[in-house]
Amino acid sequence: MSINPGTDHRQFIRKTERTRATRTARSEISFFQKAECDFGAHGRVRGGVVGRHGRGWCGVKPRSIVVEAAITLVLAVAARGASGPIDLNPVIPDSVGVNTHFLEPNPGEMEMLAAAGIRWARTDFGWEETEKKAGQYDFSGYDKLVNILESYNVSPYLILDYTNKLYDNGMSPYTEEGRQAFTRWASAAVKHFQGRGIMWEMYNEPNIKVFWLPKPNVQDYIKLALEVGKAIRTVAPGETYIGPAVSTIDFPFLEACFKAGLLHYWSAVSVHPYRRTDPESAAAEYSRLHNLIEAYAPEGRRIPILAGEWGYSTVWKGMDDERQGKLLAREILSNLANGLPLTIWYDWHDDGSDPKDPEDHFGTVYFPFERASKAVYRPKPAYIALQSLTHTFAGYRYSKRLPVGSANDYILLFSNGENVRLAAWTTSSAEHKVLIPISSGGVSIADFQGQNLKTGHPLNGKLAINLTDAPQYLLPKHPNKNVQ
């Protein structure tokens, strides 16, 4: 998880546990009534809008902070089922997830999470919490969590972490005994949940001292990850096992893992590309990492990069709620353009309300839980931006980036059969006009929160629009040969 340097991970976990302790038992909350998205129904797969899995979708009115607008959600959803290879170019919203900190969600929380189009929930799968007596495993809490997530068609992304006071004096595993104990526990967990479509991640940010105790040691991590990989490939060879979930894109740490042979076991390489700069600035690092993976990957295997954790705190200098929403959309979109099939935004909800603590303000919704409200967490612009993106592009795959003149201008094309949709923005500080090749016919245009709908009309096969730092979504009303 992203926490302030120097913070002990147990303090962070205790903060999460205090939050859990304030939660009361589940109760039935009904805050749904039918509402339509501004773009209408899109016949979508996997739960964005009504589709082959029989789920409805959230019709929250963009920028309605209280979200008094109602939500339609049909809960008869088919689970994803057995694991398989990672889709290198998934349809939206299967490329979108969030980090969470709960074993049992608050009443109404999962409805709101799923209504945003979130398809993955990343959370800790705690060693110490599930092995309190040596060799005795209790996964019952996670049985409940996995069942809840599946009922909303959200896939679990579980982190095998951290330490256990029964072994190695409560430090990260560094002895043979500690490694074997961790491996037995991890392989038992994977075997227990086999076939449930879970993404299993090997530890969290082992390259920083906050999480790998007493201090990072890449060779100790490699020894542990190799043992776990061998065990998983023996007891449950078809399961998805990824790593190393490094803080930032730590090339020395990553290359050491690759040299040691971990790409023979990992299905994907996970990184946490945190930065204070624009998300598009990660492109060069992604390119370098793609090349590094290709150099060490087993012959014939394409191993993708996943952004397993990344967000922007609204109390960082130069950041506010609206800018966070813009960057959320740009992060997800630009990651797809850079060949990343999955982006996990940090965080699902704010973890507190301290105006000086950046850790409290990464969420898509505000803190605290509001039991009496129709929307049990008050949405931030980031939530509306996420919902608008997943609903607008539901069922579409990334196709290509269209050249329009400047390297700072992003025109991304998404396709669904003959139909296309586009996302357009610029990293330039100045608003300016560009011409996009679109054949005749009207084009619906909305901002990144689904507002300001208007219709554009191409002239001589070109549509003129003004680009800003806020993504705009273009929906041609007819198939367009000019951009296919």
pLDDT of residue 439: 81
- What mean pLDDT do residues 60-73 have? 35
Q: CB 81: neighbour CB atoms within 10 A?
A: 10
Does 49 score more than 60 pLDDT? no
Give the 3-state secondary structure percentages of the chain, helix then strand then coil, rounded to 5. Answer: 30, 20, 50
CA distance 414 to 397: 5
Architecture of domain 400-476: Sandwich (2.60)
162-196 pLDDT per residue, tens: 999 999 999 999 999 999 999 999 999 999 999 99
Structure tokens at 15: 């903060």
pLDDT of residue 430: 94
Residue 376's contacts (CB-CB under 8 Å, 6 or more residues apart) are 29, 31, 106, 107, 108, 109, 112, 369, 370
CA distance 383 to 1: 20
Confidence of residue 41 (pLDDT cuts 50, 70, 90): very low
Q: CB 166: neighbour CB atoms within 10 A?
A: 16
SS in 3 state form for 74-110? Answer: CCCCCCCCCCCCCCCCCCECCCEEEECCCCCCCCCHH
Mean pLDDT, the chain, as a whole number? 85
Q: In one letter, which amino acid is 45?
A: V
pTM of the model: 0.85
Residue 355 φ/ψ, nearest 5 degrees: -70, -15
pLDDT of residue 405: 80
pLDDT of residue 48: 29
Structure tokens at 109: 């929380």
118-169 pLDDT per residue, tens: 999 999 999 999 999 999 999 999 999 999 999 999 999 999 999 999 999 9
Does 60 score more than 60 pLDDT? no
CA distance 94 to 96: 6
pLDDT of residue 416: 95
Sorted by where each begins, the domain ranges of the chain are 9-30+78-368, 400-476
CA distance 195 to 201: 16
Does 479 score more than 60 pLDDT? yes
Residue 284 φ/ψ, nearest 5 degrees: -65, -40
Does 369 score more than 60 pLDDT? yes
Structure tokens at 120: 């993955």
Look at the alpha carbons of 215, 217, 218, 222 in this order and tell me if their dihedral is positive or negative.
negative
* Strand residues in 170-261 grouped as ranges (E): 199-202, 240-247
DSSP state of 53: T
Q: In one letter, which amino acid is 275?
A: R
In angstroms, how far apart are the furthest CA atoms of the chain? Answer: 73
Share of the chain above pLDDT 70, in %: 82
Q: Are 470 and 448 in contact (CB under 8 A)?
A: yes
329 alpha-carbon distance from chain centroid: 12
Place of tokens 């979504």: 473
Cα–Cα–Cα angle for 81, 84, 87, rounded to 5 degrees: 110
Say how many Å lie between the first and final Cα of the chain, rounded.
40
Confidence of residue 99 (pLDDT cuts 50, 70, 90): very high
How far are the Cα atoms of 125, 135, 147, 153, 335 from residue 141, in angstroms, in the given order?
Answer: 10, 17, 10, 19, 33
Q: Are 229 and 261 in contact (CB under 8 A)?
A: no
Q: What's the CATH fold of domain 9-30+78-368?
A: TIM Barrel (3.20.20)
pLDDT of residue 333: 98
- What mean pLDDT do residues 300-323 have? 97
397 three-state secondary structure = strand
Q: Are 325 and 362 in contact (CB under 8 A)?
A: no
pLDDT of residue 307: 98
Confidence of residue 482 (pLDDT cuts 50, 70, 90): low
